A = this chain, B = another copy of it.
Amino acid sequence: MLVVMHSTATQEQIDNVVEAIRRMNLTPHPLPGAIRTAIGITGNISAVDPRTLEVLPGVTELLRVTKPYKLASREMHPDDTIVSVANTRIGPGTFTIIAGPCSVENEEMILKTAEFLRSQGVRLMRAGAFKPRTSPYAFQGMGQKGLDILVKARETTGIGIVTELMDTEYADAVEAAADIIQIGARNMQNFSLLRRVSQTRKPVLLKRGLSATLEEWLMAAEYVMAGENYNVILCERGVRTFSDHSRNTLDLSVIPPVKTLSHLPILVDPSHGTGKRDYVPSMAMAALAAGADGILIEVHPDPDRALSDGAQSLDFAGFTKLLDKLRRLAEPLEKTVN
């Protein structure tokens, strides 16, 4: 449910409505807009008599949100969300590049990659310290040591850090190290983990599950937002289908419905989406043209010796070439790539 305030409503009137909602044991979510403020309400609304709110000073109207996701819906939040982080703004007008290796392998390669990325004007680096691996016997990431290396990379180069959180146990450590906390595809419906990151103050990059419908994905975002962390960034990374020409089926067609139904920014991960280095540039270009807000892309100083995902990582030269192409393509689309 959405309480729309008058354009002339005072802060006191807004606070008053917020307070009234809290007294009903519901959660108010103030949503300041260009012209007026609205206040989203979540919780068990069925028992509430809406007329109690309608009569409060400054209230224009009460709107019912028809989608099962509320805070994530464009119905409740008509303006695009812009996530400000690491000196950049993820959202309209910008095509954000988050690049880096699959996993933190050692300090040298991370610093090298961070410096390279900064030299290319990239502001966010991805790299995993905790790795979700299909096999219990595979390399599981460097853990806390990996996080320390990432922090050092930020301190040295100024690059923002995007890294995955796999369990609640390490939530504080990852929150401290990361500028954006990544939730992996296999954890998209790990509801405990979603609730935990809703309690952090860092933006959350939420990958789409391998067989998640758009509604389930937005409901997962809703778990984070219901805990009052509104900075959710969606990331399409390929879904499971019968198709075998690539590792997953990258679903670029989800971009326009995401933009219609939600106000959240959406990135695309062409590296996991295709699983093959040669197919990554085409899909990165397509993501830009389709209206995505950026890409999450694997770049490694020496892909053929990567501890994980080498086959889908670009080397520095390949990345530079792609970045150049993206910048030229972004011009007629009136977007800035960084």
Q: Which residues of B contact A12 (CB under 8 A)?
A: none
Q: Does A189 contact B (CB under 8 A)?
A: yes
Q: Does A148 contact B (CB under 8 A)?
A: no
Instruction: Choose from B43, B134, B213, B290 the contact partner of A245 (Cβ within 8 Å).
Output: B213
A176–chain B nearest beta-carbon distance, Å: 19
Q: Is the CB of A213 within 8 A of B329?
A: no
CA distance A42 to B136 in the complex (A): 9
Q: Give the number of copies in the complex.
A: 4
CA distance A195 to B140 in the complex (A): 12
Q: Does A36 contact B (CB under 8 A)?
A: no
CA distance A68 to B133 in the complex (A): 12
In this complex, how many residues of chain A approach chain B with their Cβ under 8 Å: the count is 72
Q: Mark A206-223, 1 if CB is under 8 A from B, else 0.
A: 000111011010010011
A positions within 8 Å CB-CB of B: 42-44, 68-70, 132-137, 166-169, 186-187, 189-193, 195, 209-211, 213-214, 216, 219, 222-223, 226, 238-246, 249-257, 260, 273-274, 278-279, 282-283, 285-291, 325, 328-329, 331-333
Q: Is the CB of A222 within 8 A of B136?
A: yes
Q: Which residues of B contact A328 (CB under 8 A)?
A: 332
CA distance A69 to B137 in the complex (A): 9
The answer to whether A283 and B223 touch (CB under 8 A), given A133-B191, A289-B329, is no
Could you name 26 residue pairs across A and B whose Cβ atoms are closer than 8 Å? A43-B137, A136-B191, A137-B226, A167-B192, A187-B190, A210-B211, A211-B211, A211-B240, A213-B242, A213-B244, A214-B243, A238-B253, A239-B241, A241-B241, A242-B242, A245-B253, A249-B253, A250-B252, A253-B273, A255-B282, A256-B278, A256-B282, A286-B286, A288-B289, A325-B332, A329-B329
Smallest CB-CB A-B distances: 7 pairs: A167-B192, A289-B289, A211-B211, A286-B290, A328-B332, A211-B240, A256-B279
Q: Is the CB of B135 within 8 A of A222?
A: yes
